[in-house]
Structure 1
Amino acid sequence: MALLERRQSLLKAVNCIASQEGVHAIPVVVVNGNRFDEQLNEELRGDARIRYLYCNEPSAPEAQLVGRRAVSTPYFAFLDDDDELLPGALLRRIEALEKYPEAAFAVENGYRHQRGQDEAVIDDMEQLNDRPPLESLLETNWMASCSGLFRTVSVGEQFFQNPAPYMEWTYLAFRLSLVFEARFLSSFGYRINVTENSVSSSESYLEGVVDVLTRMLEFDIPHGIAKTLRQKRVAALHNLSVRHLDQGDLRRAWRYHLRSVASLEGLRYLGYSRQFFLPSRLGVDADR
C-alpha cells in the first residue's frame, strides 16, 4: 500500500475508535518491525488520543500479543489499520456482555467491502446464539479481526501466545469456544476492506490451513468435532495435491496425496491415485 494510502487508512482506523459514542475507547497502536515511515511514526507518537507501543518483531500476531498485554480496561477489541469500526459498535458489544455475564466475548456481524460493494459477512448472525459456538464455527468462521469484544478478566494473554501463522482468528475462535460462552449480535459493526492481493489462494495459506487443523486436533474435543476436523484436514491436503499436480510437480503432489489417504477420512480420495499413472503424466505415448 502506498504511504499516503497507509497513512489515511491508519488515521481513519484511529478516528473510528476514538469517536465511538457512549464509551471511552483508548486506541492502542502497536508499530512493529523496522520498516515504517518516520514521519507517520512521529505523528502517531504525538497523538494524545492513542497509546503508542513498539515491538521489534515484524509480526502481526506478536503485535496483537503486545497490545493485549497493555490492556487495563474491562474489555478490549482489535482493529486492523485498513479496516473500520462502524458507529456504536463498541457500545453494542459492551451492552451484550453486561446483559449476558456468562459470555466471555461478543461477536458482531459486519460487512466485507470489495470492488465497491458491501456484503454481509454472516447471513444470519442471530441464529448462532441457538447453537454451541464450536459447532457453528466448523461451518463458517464468524470471528474476524474486528468483529469481537473480549472480557479482559476471561480472555487472557495466553490465548494470543503460540498463534497460528494463517487463519489466526479462526484458531482464536476455536480456542475460546472450547472453554467460554459467546454472544452473537446481528447488528453490523465493522467493515473489512478486502484487497486484491489476497493470500487465501497462495500455497503458504493452503499449507497454513493444514497446520491450523492439525493444531485443533491436538485439543481434547468431542468425537464429532474431531471427525469433522479430520475431514477438513484431509480435504486441505487433497487440495494441495491437486494444486501441485496441476503445476506438474508430481513428487510434491504424490506426497500430499499419500498424507490425504493415510486416514479413514481420506479413503474417498483413493481413486484420485489414478491421476498419477495416466500416460500423459508418465511421459508415455498412449498409442503404442
Structure 2
Amino acid sequence: MDATDASLPAPLITTIIPTMASKARAASLKRAITSIRAASKQPVAIIVVVNGTRSDPEACAWLADQPDVRLEFDAKPSAANAMLRGRELVATPFFTSLDDDDEFTPGALDLRLAAMQSDTCPDIVVCNGLRRDSTGDTLCYDDLPSVPAAPLPALFRMPWLSSCNSLYRTASIDAHFFRNFHSFAEWTWLAYQFGVAGKKIAVIDTPTFVCNDTAGSLSKSNEYEMAYLSLYERMLSLAPPAPVADLIRRRIGSFWHDQSVTALRNGQRLDALRHHVRSLRQPGGLRYLGYSRYLIPGWPQNR
C-alpha cells in the first residue's frame, strides 16, 4: 500500500525498523516490511534506520525504492541508537517497532490500534506473539494479562516488552525514554522506566507478531548476561517501591551466585568465594549458604 497516495488517509501509525541492512538479512528485512503492509488496512508510515557502515548496497537501493519507506542512515552500529533516531522522526499519533528478522501477523496493527483507541486510552499496548524456531512455534508469554495491574513486579517474572510486541501513544512516550539506553537490555530498561513513570498499559493476549529465533543474536551473548548487574543497579537508582527494590536485590544475589559457580568451575576459587559472599549479603541470600561447602577447605561435602 502506497502511503504517499493523496487519495489515502494519513497514516496513524509509524513502524520503526533499526537494521544494519546486511546482505544476510536482506530477505528477512523485505519480509518484515511486507508484514507491516499486511498488518493494517490503513497506510502505515515506515522508518528504516540503517545503522553501521556495512550495509548491503542492493538492500539499501531496494529500501530507497519503496514509496512508503523513509530511509535514514546512522554511522553508529547501534540498534538502540537507531531506534532513538526513528522515534525522533515519528510524526504520527502512534508508533511501534519491528526487528528486521521478525514479522507482524496479518491485521496485527489494526488490532493494536483498536485497543489504543478504546475508552481506557492506554499509553502503551503490549501483545502476545509467537517464537519460531526449527521445532515450530511457541507462545511468547503465558501470563501477559497480569502486567497492567503491576507492571514492575511482572517484569521480574517475564520480559513483557520487546522490540515487536507493542504500540505506543506518541504524545505519552516521547524520545527521552529511548535516550541513555542500557546496552544488551534496552527493552527491559525501557519497560522498567514505563513502570516507574506510571504509564498506563493495555494487553492483547493474542499473537500479533512472530519472533524468529536467529542464531548469533545478542540475547545469546555472554555480554548480554553480564549487562544485567549494572541494569539492576541502575534500576535501584530510580528509588522503586520497597517490594520492587527487594526483587531487584534478590536478582543481584542470584547474579553473584551464578558468577561464583562459574568462577569455581574455572578453578578461580578466591573469586568464587568473593562472589559467594556478595550473594549472601542480598535479600534471600541465605538460600545459597549450603553452597559454601564447595568453597571452604575442610567443609564436609556430604549432603
Compute the TM-score of the two structures, normalised by the length of structure 1: 0.89
* Residue 150 (structure 2) pairs with residue 132 (structure 1): yes
What amino acid does structure 1 have at the position aligned with 2:184? Y
Stretches (4+) displaced over 6 A = none
Residues 255 and 188 of structure 1, relative CA distance in 2, 3 Å threshold? same
> 2:21 and 2:182 mapped to 1: Cα distance?
28
- For the 8 Å contact 2:253–2:283, the answer to whether it is kept is no
Alignment check: 8 A CA contact 1:16 1:84 kept: yes
Letter in 1 for 2:129: G
Question: Residue by residue, what CA displacement relative to the aligned partner does 1:164-186 show, whole Å, maximum 9, x if unpaired?
Answer: 11221111111112221100011
Q: Report the CA distance between 1:206 and its aligned residue.
A: 2.1
Match of 2:35 among 4, 16, 23: 16
Aligned counterpart for 1:146 among listed residues 149, 164, 184 = 164
- CA shift, 1:126, in A, is 3.4
Where do 1:55-204 residues align within 5 Å?
55-129=74-148, 131-179=149-197, 180-200=199-219, 202-204=221-223
Contact 1:206 1:236 in 2 (8 A): no
2:73 aligns with 54
Q: CA deviation at 1:2?
A: 11
- The question of 1:238 aligning with 2:252 is answered no
Note if contact 2:218-2:224 (Cα within 8 Å) is conserved in structure 1: yes
Q: What is the RMSD of the two structures over their aligned residues, measured on CA atoms?
A: 2.2
Q: Which residue of 2 aligns with 1:275?
A: 294
Identify the residue that residue 4 of structure 2 maps to in structure 1: none
Deviates more, 1:103-112 or 1:20-29: 20-29
Q: Cα gap change, 1:187/1:228 in structure 2, threshold over 3 Å: closer, same or farther? A: same
Deviations 1:195-231 (A, max 9, x none): 2335555432221121211111111211111111110
Q: Distance in 2 between matches of 1:104 and 1:37?
A: 36
Q: 1:100 to 1:182 in 2, by over 3 A?
A: farther
Indicate whether 1:33 and 2:55 are aligned: no
Secondary structure at 1:183 match in 2: strand
* CA 192–59 in structure 1, closer or farther in 2 if over 3 Å, else same: same
Unaligned runs of 5+ in 1: 280-288
What is the match of residue 277 of structure 2? 258
Once residues 26 and 16 of structure 1 are traced to their aligned partners in structure 2, the CA distance between those partners, rounded to angstroms, is: 13
Equivalent in the alignment of 1:216: 235
The share of aligned pairs that are identical, in percent, is 34
Q: 1:65 deviation in Å?
A: 0.4
Number of aligned residues:
278
* Structure 1 stretch displaced more, 135-144 or 187-196: 135-144
Cα distance change, pair 79–113 in 1 and its aligned pair in 2 (3 A): same
More helix per residue:
1
Bigger shift: 105-114 or 196-205? 196-205
